[in-house]
Structure 1
Amino acid sequence: MPCHAGWVGPTVPICIYGFFSMMRPIEPFMTEFLTGTYKNLTTEQVNRQVYPVWTYSSLVFLIPVLLVTDFLRYKPVIILQGLSHITAFVLLLVGSGVRSAQLAFFSYSIAMAADVAYFSYIYSVVQPSHYQRVTSYVKAAILLGYSVGALLGQLLLSLGGVSLYCLAIVTLISVTISLITSLFLPMPKTSLFLKGTLSAQQGSSGEDNQESGSQDAWVKSVTAAKHVGRMFKRLALDFRKCYSSVAMLFFCIWASTGKCGFYQVAGYIQLLWVYMEPGNFTAFNGAVDGISTLSVVRVGELVLGGFTFLITGALFLMDRTDNIWISYSCFFLFKTIYMQLSTICTFQIAKTLQREHYALVFGFNSFVGTILQSLLTAIVINTKSLKLTITSQFLIYASYFAAVSLLFTVRGVYTALHMQRPAGSSQTERDSNLPEASRL
């Protein structure tokens, strides 16, 4: 089979796109870029007026992006993501003041919302037998891109004497390359969800056979109310089917809650470091942020709870210490563990789904995670009566992960106890720690 007809053809450009879209050397030093001589914003403005914009805006854009991603067949949304990245960094380079920074993060939020298209695209153009392989490649591409970008920024800043402004220019060049690469992505032949909906309609009743000649016109116009009603009915049925597995549901819960906590910590960690070392911004932000490794293993809820507890401990120590090197080490541990568990959850969820359901499930998980993050941001950062310090904010983030760890530890103990039941117990209950088991 020729490469372009198999999994290699679409996997190579989407991996190149992911690498360059994530190779953003300015990001580990974004807080200093905004609060330094380039933009002259205060840490209070960045904390309460600028950074929350991308959280709230991502929530607004996620629903429309989720609804149109599959219908537009992924590639246009990926191109939109590239354009949004370029717009964001152009605004950061040429703009000034709080409003300009807010617009930049507003554009950045569109790119964040479009992540569902990137993670779902590859499953629409390759066969299920290649899912495990392409999942690892696609995930590795973005992690490698982020690591290279962060380490490159650290080397250029510490050894090359390059300014933060130049790092922003390098970032703009990188995301521009990713946009160009996205233009060469193979276009999926059909919308996976709509294809599945049509297939279900064709086999559901004799009425569908009478209407088969008009189905092509419906796909193109999407104006017939009867078919739109069927589509949403199909969406509701698919949603119920996807989340009918208890183990699958818990993987999705961890994916949503983990995403919320990770982006909240990663988004505000630089403010904590600036608070600890106000004049030492060039320390090792990029090195700590960039060095991360992945190993994919198979785990159940108990291991998720245990490793999330390690994340909790790292955050508590990060919050209580005054030593920036201990804080760096804790963040390294936090990010490494999260990336491993996130990869595990993505693969476990993907392997149990039909192809037409990827955008639905990944998109909904991202939506729930963004809702949680918006609520956390509103309570911790934008509640005027609280006015929490940056250290108090991280104490709350650690408590948040402690609650997540407790939930999965309890679930894991419950699962482990049921696995010890006599041989007469059902196989479903004994295997309830696997995604294929336990139906609601």
Structure 2
Amino acid sequence: MEAVRRWRSDWRYPTTLLCVYGFFSTVKPLEPFLIPFLTGPDKNLTTEQVNNQIFPVWTYSYLCVLVPVFLLTDWLRYKPVVVFQCVTLFITTAMLLWTDSVPAMQAMQCFYGMVTASEVAYFSYIYSVIDLKRYRKATSYSRSVQLLGYTVGSVLGQLLVSFNLMSYNNILVFTMVLTAIALLASCLLPMPQQSMFFHRIHTGQKTVTEGTKRHANETVGRGDEKGEKGGETQDDTGNGQEEKGPKAEDIEEAVGAESCCGVLLRLWKDFLQCYSSRKLLYWSVWWAMATCGYNQTVNYVQVLWEHVQPSQNFSIYNGGVEAVSNLLSAATAYGIGFTEVKWELWGELALGGFSGLGAAALFLMTFIGNIWVCYTGYILFKCLYMLLITIAMYQIAADLSMERYALVFGANNFGALTLQTIITSVVVDSGGLGLAIIPQFTIYASYFSVIAVLFSLRGLFTIWRARRSNEESPPSENDESGSDGHRF
């Protein structure tokens, strides 16, 4: 029993394995050069086929599997879905290497949709196997190592392409080797004993999470130490009174105790309770709208670069640009933690103002027609989005428990993907308007302009209402609606 307790308290083991997996699964040297690869002599596809027939499939696939994967992740307890993500990533890379027809590339995009939908398992796994006090460090490590993987992949791809050290096909073989290392790490991950909804811990009539169980174990352990020092029994606290809260030996695990219908009903109740907050609803609306526009921009920006400056006539620097944008985005997001701003008061105005700057960057990328302006505009746009999404995550998470944190973030991403599917089917897909890349980016820039106007007006209204409340209420009579900026 002591060995089991020591194993569970050793948070470095699963965290290290997850970080190894996160790093090797995100080192993708070819990703910044995917359009030149697909439209070049290796695959010999046209830009229109890639833009209007192949890339839209990823959006549809992602939307179709997102909710089932979210539920399966919880039901299967994370690790199997992490392994599944790596397997589908390997299949995606293999199809990219060995197939070249449009239907085959569309099937490859279907598998890649499964890969991206399965990321929920990567970001949820660590919370089920470590103690609450380790959450911040583990989250920081797992997210940072992913960003490091993307950066290393971009830099490596730029070096390999610029110095002709490897062909595109050899780069894909190298990527498959890295994915195999990630697959080995995922198989070594310890299996969690609980999950968010399907596998919970029951004590009497109350339901608690595994984190609560671990906390109870720690509390009992501390009580034991106090009992030894004070000559009291293990059932007593340091004050000689009966210990409150669940005892470790009274907590028993109930795997799959609830039916699927019961879980879905509880999900729905939690969903309604979360979004009953108007402030949270506004931030979530921005999250969904902005993430939709960001995903569309990132997915098709290489097509724009290829249009502005064909890779056959120019030494492209897509990998270097992606590396710089990732590093600057990380620095921007990290700096938010040291910025003393009342985001609950000024946040909505910041959402509008910075979204407007992002729209301006997109307009410059679209109409200037210079590759260096496109590169600079993309870096600026990505940094602004990462800045704002960090603020939004913090503001939303401030009022949520861990369970609702996952639920709301997943719902916001689902809303973003739904909007993205609508835009893709109408604007991009050859079955819809099938617009060329310049009209597409004109629409994306205009879309962010609408976001900027809406949230700038909302931000100004929030500030005006707060100041009016300050003027009308004496300092000693601040109510919950918040002249001090807590809640409106």
TM-score by length of 2: 0.79
Q: Aligned partners of 1:125 and 1:344: how far apart in 2?
A: 27
Residue 17 (structure 1) aligns with: 21
Mapped pair 1:365 → 2:397: no
- Structure 1: give runs of 5+ residues left out of the alignment: 204-214
Change (3 A) 1:344 1:152: farther
Residue 438 (structure 2) aligns with: 391
Residue 479 (structure 2) aligns with: 426
Mapped pair 1:87 → 2:91: yes
Change (3 A) 1:184 1:391: same
Change (3 A) 1:128 1:383: same
Residue 122 (structure 1) aligns with: 126
SS of equivalent residue, structure 1 residue 70: helix
Residue 242 (structure 1) aligns with: 274
Residue 269 (structure 1) aligns with: 301
Deviations 1:124-171 (A, max 9, x none): 233333333333322222211111101110011112442222222222
Q: Aligned partners of 1:15 and 1:341: how far apart in 2?
A: 25
Change (3 A) 1:161 1:280: farther
SS of equivalent residue, structure 1 residue 429: coil
Change (3 A) 1:111 1:33: same
Q: Aligned partners of 2:354 and 2:114: how far apart in 1?
A: 31
* Match 1:414 to one of 432, 449, 461: 461
Residue 230 (structure 2) aligns with: none
Q: Please report how far the alpha carbon of residue 397 of structure 1 lies from its aligned counterpart in structure 2 after TM superposition.
A: 0.6
Deviations 1:326-376 (A, max 9, x none): 111101111122223333433444454323334422322221111111111
Tell me if the contact between 1:69 and 1:359 (Cα under 8 Å) persists in the aligned partners. no
- Tell me how many residue pairs correspond in the alignment: 421
Residue 168 (structure 1) aligns with: 172
Q: Aligned partners of 1:318 and 1:30: how far apart in 2?
A: 20
Q: Please report how far the alpha carbon of residue 196 of structure 1 lies from its aligned counterpart in structure 2 after TM superposition.
A: 5.7
Q: Aligned partners of 1:200 and 1:104: how far apart in 2?
A: 49
SS of equivalent residue, structure 2 residue 270: helix
Q: Aligned partners of 1:322 and 1:37: how far apart in 2?
A: 25
CA RMSD of aligned residues (A): 2.7
Identity %: 42
- Structure 2: give runs of 5+ residues left out of the alignment: 208-251, 338-342
Q: Aligned partners of 2:194 and 2:295: how far apart in 1?
A: 33
Q: Which AA in structure 2 matches 1:179?
A: L
TM-score by length of 1: 0.87
Mapping 1:276-425, distance limit 5 Å: 276-278=308-310, 279-280=312-313, 282-291=315-324, 292=326, 293=328, 294=330, 295=332, 296=334, 297=336, 299=343, 300-382=347-429, 384=431, 386-420=433-467, 421-422=469-470, 423=475, 424-425=477-478
Q: Please report how far the alpha carbon of residue 380 of structure 1 lies from its aligned counterpart in structure 2 after TM superposition.
A: 0.9
Change (3 A) 1:16 1:344: farther
Change (3 A) 1:431 1:166: farther
Q: Aligned partners of 1:197 and 1:247: how far apart in 2?
A: 32
Q: Which has the larger radius of gyration?
A: 2
Deviations 1:78-105 (A, max 9, x none): 1111111000000010112111111111
Tell me if the contact between 2:8 and 2:129 (Cα under 8 Å) persists in the aligned partners. no
Q: Please report how far the alpha carbon of residue 321 of structure 1 lies from its aligned counterpart in structure 2 after TM superposition.
A: 1.1
Residue 285 (structure 2) aligns with: 253
Tell me if the contact between 1:318 and 1:331 (Cα under 8 Å) persists in the aligned partners. yes
Q: Which AA in structure 1 matches 2:198?
A: L
Change (3 A) 1:65 1:414: same
Q: Which AA in structure 2 matches 1:247?
A: K
SS of equivalent residue, structure 2 residue 482: helix
Deviations 1:162-195 (A, max 9, x none): 2222222222222222222112223222122235
Tell me if the contact between 1:314 and 1:331 (Cα under 8 Å) persists in the aligned partners. yes
Q: Please report how far the alpha carbon of residue 425 of structure 1 lies from its aligned counterpart in structure 2 after TM superposition.
A: 4.4
Deviations 1:289-318 (A, max 9, x none): 111322331642222222222111110110
Mapped pair 1:110 → 2:114: yes
Mapping 1:54-65, distance limit 5 Å: 54-65=58-69
Residues 258-267 or 127-136, more deviating: 127-136
Q: Aligned partners of 2:31 and 2:430: how far apart in 1?
A: 26
Tell me if the contact between 1:192 and 1:355 (Cα under 8 Å) persists in the aligned partners. no
SS of equivalent residue, structure 1 residue 193: coil
Residue 232 (structure 1) aligns with: 264
Structure with bigger RCO (C-alpha 8 Å, 6+ apart): 1
Tell me if the contact between 1:66 and 1:359 (Cα under 8 Å) persists in the aligned partners. no
Residues 10-19 or 313-322, more deviating: 10-19
